[in-house]
């Protein structure tokens, strides 16, 4: 970084821990720091004018039970614990939420073995699940068609944007500073001298340690700090429709397909949200920018970085058939509707209204492997959160504590 930080003698630090990113993970980390070590001076830099403007404010709003994740993984441990904590947090702070339970429905015989594997996995993760036949599916969701299903009682819904805003308030009440409209532009890290950063408006801030919770930009922030992250973000957009209010009676709660184990995405699902409306989605298509919420948004530099990354080409080669299907369902409402009708045969194209999309920050290794688990790495004076896709909103309270603990460890070294 070219800043005055280069030449001066060690200046007093402006804060102890600098958190980059005011999404749910960064704000949970800031909150956890103020709880674990009161008196620690924490500053959060968020480039947008408020919290939760990206993944945190553009998701399905589902508190995941933890059924899908490999036993022992960070995702499994943090989702199971995080779901219970999230319900409690919402109740304590008056944030809209509900423990609704959900159905995972097999619509074809070929999906039955995978449904049974999920039951095993759920039990290994300590999650109570019930097996349902077609008649029991119809009792719970009269308009959904399925051969067999599992009912997961601990799944819920909430407003993660409101959770992030509350975490920001709690952190601020405990002395943290959250700066909005503050985009990190450069980092200068020196052994034994902490981190100096410059924001795009030219301000310089010195911190004893930096935590990177920049979501869709986390790999770029790691590179600004001089680190070579083991994975890069490949942005996958998730598009949604909402059900015409006159047809909302078709869906009572949460209905998911059996996921394809080759992908960390759960498949297009039906979600009755905290506001009462029903969302259908998200699919998974490549985004042409990290914040590319539609096909028109293209950032050549960001797209170039993805296209220059061997991992992106390897995914494309390995999963082209699946990808082509997702592209078709993105470009053609008729194809999307046909896919939804497997679960909900009565739905028609006229019932579906486009609604805002989200973009997932999915970390991908050079060999094209989609990083499945949460990925948190450490470097001198720095902690990087390099993969925090779903269910990281659900798991944000335990993730925040884990990252805070590592940041406090970096201060002690
Ligand atoms: C379509 C979709 C559906 C999902 N559904 C669910 C679900 O139902 N349940 C669930 O648990 N999870 C779900 N997720 C995942 C969940 O939303 C994310 O795991 C979670 O929000 C990640 O939070 P974050 O703080 O890491 O990222 P973000 O919310 O993206 O926050 C990162 C922040 O960093 C800021 N930033 C980036 N670069 C800079 C910079 N240089 N300077 C300053 N600030 C910067 C950004 O502006 C942003 O606000 C879904 C995600 C998507 C996209």
242-292 pLDDT per residue, tens: 999 999 999 999 999 999 888 878 889 999 999 889 999 999 999 999 999
- Average pLDDT taken over every residue of the chain: 95
Residues 284 and 187 in one domain: no
- 146 in contact with ligand 1, CB cutoff 6 A: no
How many angstroms does the Cα of residue 245 sit away from the middle of ligand 1?
28
How many angstroms does the Cα of residue 224 sit away from the middle of ligand 1?
20
- 22 in contact with ligand 1, CB cutoff 6 A: yes
Average pLDDT over residues 175-196: 95
Residues 113 and 253 in one domain: yes
Query: Given a cut of 90, is residue 88 above it in pLDDT?
Result: yes
Question: What letter does residue 392 receive in the DSSP assignment?
Answer: T
- 389 in contact with ligand 1, CB cutoff 6 A: yes
What pLDDT score does 11 carry?
53
Domain containing residue 121: CATH number: 3.30.9.10
The total domain count for the chain is 2
Q: Which residues have C-beta within 8 Å of that of residue 127, sequence separation ≥ 6?
A: 65, 66, 67, 80, 152, 154
Boundary of a domain, candidates 326, 341, 365: 365
Share of the chain above pLDDT 90, in %: 91
DSSP per-residue string spanning 212-264: E--GGGHHHHHHHTT---SEEEEEEEEEEEEE-GGGGGG--SEEEEPPPTTSS
Residues 353 and 407 in one domain: no
- 359 in contact with ligand 1, CB cutoff 6 A: yes
Residues 29 and 111 in one domain: no
Ligand 1: nearest atom to the Cα of 240: 1
Average pLDDT over residues 348-376: 97
Residues 406 and 384 in one domain: yes
Residue (of 341, 15, 352) closest to 171 by Cα position: 15
What pLDDT score does 412 carry?
83
- 232 in contact with ligand 1, CB cutoff 6 A: no
Average pLDDT over residues 173-193: 95
pLDDT in tens, 89-106: 999 999 999 999 999 999
Question: How sure is the predictor about 6, in pLDDT bands with cuts at 50, 70 and 90?
Answer: very low
Residues 391 and 321 in one domain: no
How many angstroms does the Cα of residue 59 sit away from the middle of ligand 1?
9
- 23 in contact with ligand 1, CB cutoff 6 A: yes
- 60 in contact with ligand 1, CB cutoff 6 A: yes
When comparing pLDDT for 316 and 5, which is higher?
A: 316
Q: Is residue 69 part of a domain?
A: no
- 237 in contact with ligand 1, CB cutoff 6 A: no
Candidate of 214, 256, 373, 374 to mutate for ligand 1, largest count of ligand atoms within 8 Å of Cβ: 214
Helices of type H across 181-217: none
The tokens describing 319, both together, are 């999963």
Residues 141 and 277 in one domain: yes
Q: How many helices (H) and strands (E) does the chain have?
A: 11, 20
- 187 in contact with ligand 1, CB cutoff 6 A: no
What pLDDT score does 231 carry?
97
Average pLDDT over residues 77-88: 98
Q: Which is it for the CA torsion 142, 144, 150, 155, positive or negative? A: negative
Domain that holds residue 107: 98-154+232-365
Residues 397 and 269 in one domain: no
pLDDT in tens, 201-212: 999 999 999 999
What pLDDT score does 12 carry?
86
**190 forms bridges with which residues in the sheet?**
194
What pLDDT score does 9 carry?
52
pLDDT in tens, 117-159: 999 999 999 999 999 999 999 999 999 999 999 999 999 999 9
Q: Is residue 68 part of a domain?
A: no
Q: Which is it for the CA torsion 70, 72, 78, 83, positive or negative? A: positive
Average pLDDT over residues 394-410: 97
Chain-centroid distance of CA 180 in Å reads 20
Phi-psi region of 267 (alpha: psi -120 to 50; beta: other; left: phi over 0): left
Residues 330 and 382 in one domain: no
Q: Which residues have C-beta within 8 Å of that of residue 102, sequence separation ≥ 6?
A: 62, 65, 151, 152, 155, 253, 254, 255, 256
Domain containing residue 38: CATH number: 3.50.50.60
């Amino acid at each position: 970084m070219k800043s005055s930080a280069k030449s001066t003698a060690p200046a007093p630090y402006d804060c102890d821990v600098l958190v980059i990113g005011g999404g749910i993970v960064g704000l949970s980390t800031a909150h956890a720091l103020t709880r674990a070590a009161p008196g620690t001076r924490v500053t959060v830099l968020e480039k947008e004018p408020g919290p939760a403007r990206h993944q945190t404010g553009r998701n399905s709003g589902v508190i995941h039970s933890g059924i899908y994740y490999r036993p022992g993984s960070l995702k499994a441990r943090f989702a199971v614990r995080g779901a219970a904590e999230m319900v409690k947090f919402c109740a304590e702070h008056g944030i809209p939420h509900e423990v609704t339970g959900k159905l995972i429905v097999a619509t074809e015989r070929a999906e039955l073995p995978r449904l049974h594997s999920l039951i095993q996995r759920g039990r290994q993760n300590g999650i109570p699940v019930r097996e349902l036949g077609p008649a029991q599916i119809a009792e719970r969701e009269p308009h959904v068609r399925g051969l067999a299903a599992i009912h997961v009682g601990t799944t819920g819904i909430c407003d993660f944007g409101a959770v992030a805003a509350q975490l920001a308030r709690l952190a601020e009440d405990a002395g943290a500073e959250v700066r909005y409209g503050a985009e990190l532009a450069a980092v200068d890290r020196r052994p034994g001298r902490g981190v100096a950063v410059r924001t795009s408006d030219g301000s310089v801030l010195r911190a004893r340690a930096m935590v990177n919770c920049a979501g869709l930009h986390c790999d770029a922030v790691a590179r600004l700090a001089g680190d070579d992250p083991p994975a890069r973000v490949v942005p996958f957009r998730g598009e949604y429709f909402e059900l015409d209010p006159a047809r909302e009676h078709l869906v009572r709660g949460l209905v998911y397909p059996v996921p394809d184990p080759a992908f960390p995405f759960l498949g297009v699902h039906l979600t009755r949200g905290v506001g009462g409306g029903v969302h259908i989605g998200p699919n998974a298509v490549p985004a042409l920018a990290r914040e590319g919420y539609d096909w028109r948004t293209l950032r050549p530099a960001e797209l170039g970085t993805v296209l220059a990354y061997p991992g992106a080409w390897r995914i494309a080669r390995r999963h082209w058939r699946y990808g082509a299907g997702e592209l078709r369902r993105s470009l053609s409402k008729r194809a999307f509707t046909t896919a939804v009708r497997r679960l909900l045969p009565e739905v028609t194209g006229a019932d579906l209204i486009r609604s805002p999309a989200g973009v997932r920050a999915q970390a991908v290794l050079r060999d094209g492997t989609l990083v499945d688990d949460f990925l948190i790495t450490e470097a001198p004076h720095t902690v990087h959160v390099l993969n925090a896709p779903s269910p990281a909103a659900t798991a944000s309270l335990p993730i925040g504590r884990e990252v805070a603990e590592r940041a406090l460890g970096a201060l002690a070294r």
